[in-house]
């Protein structure tokens, strides 16, 4: 079961988290490539929020499987990049429910499929935050820590970041579609119509 994550941070902590969120969003800035957006988000979550592990899991096109697409630091075993994620994981729970799934302490619930790999990384608690584009869950942004108290305090900013990340990817996709459409229009305008005989 997901842990309750409704602890309200202090005013100072909220200010710190908002500043961190601003820095992460500024890093993403005007990036228009969705892969680069994901890479920046994973890197900056680890750096700015000081998580011990950050990863991105994305659903495959078949919508039946999901894979680890990014992991910082690189994980081994079940959480290594490219691995198919087991449906008995907290990540799938977040994707199924559309709600964050948090385990502040691995030993308090489970066992889950991801536990051995998280322990090898020294992670003692983690959260999986669903990424939704146009109401469809496409994966999870995952953060792990050795200090479970910080995990609960950062959940609000992580939810905001997951929402922004999904919207940034949607915007990048829409811009790509518009650019393709403009390219096709330019080709039609540049090519004169065939002469009627």
Residue ranges of domains in the chain: 11-188
Q: pLDDT tens, 75-126?
A: 878 888 888 888 889 999 999 999 999 898 888 877 888 999 999 999 999 9
Q: pLDDT tens, 131-190?
A: 888 888 888 989 998 887 767 666 777 787 788 777 777 766 666 667 677 777 777 777
Could you identify the residue written with the tokens 């518009």? Answer: 178
pTM over cut 0.85: no
Q: CB within 8 A of 156, min separation 6: which ones?
A: 9, 14, 17
The helix or strand, by DSSP H or E, that contains position 100, with its residue range, turns out to be: none
Sign of CA dihedral 171, 176, 180, 183: positive
Could you identify the residue written with the tokens 């309750």? Answer: 4
CATH of 11-188, one of 3.40.50.300, 3.30.450.40, 3.40.50.2300, 3.30.559.10: 3.30.450.40
């Amino acid at each position: 079961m997901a842990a309750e994550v409704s602890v309200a941070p202090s005013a100072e902590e909220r200010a710190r988290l908002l500043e961190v969120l601003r820095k992460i969003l500024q890093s993403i800035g005007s990036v228009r490539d969705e892969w680069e957006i994901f890479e920046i988000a994973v890197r900056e979550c680890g750096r700015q929020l000081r998580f011990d592990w950050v990863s991105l899991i994305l659903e495959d096109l078949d919508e039946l499987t999901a894979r680890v697409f990014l992991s910082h630091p690189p994980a081994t075993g079940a959480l290594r990049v490219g691995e198919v994620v087991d449906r008995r994981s907290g990540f799938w729970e977040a994707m199924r429910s559309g709600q964050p799934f948090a385990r502040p302490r691995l030993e308090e619930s489970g066992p889950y499929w991801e536990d051995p790999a998280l322990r090898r990384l020294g992670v003692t608690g983690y959260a999986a935050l669903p990424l939704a584009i146009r109401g469809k869950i496409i994966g999870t942004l995952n953060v792990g820590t050795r200090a479970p108290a910080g995990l609960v305090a950062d959940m609000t900013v992580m939810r905001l970041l997951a929402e922004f990340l999904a919207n940034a990817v949607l915007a990048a996709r829409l811009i790509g579609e518009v650019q393709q459409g403009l390219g096709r229009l330019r080709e039609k305008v540049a090519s004169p119509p065939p002469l009627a005989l």
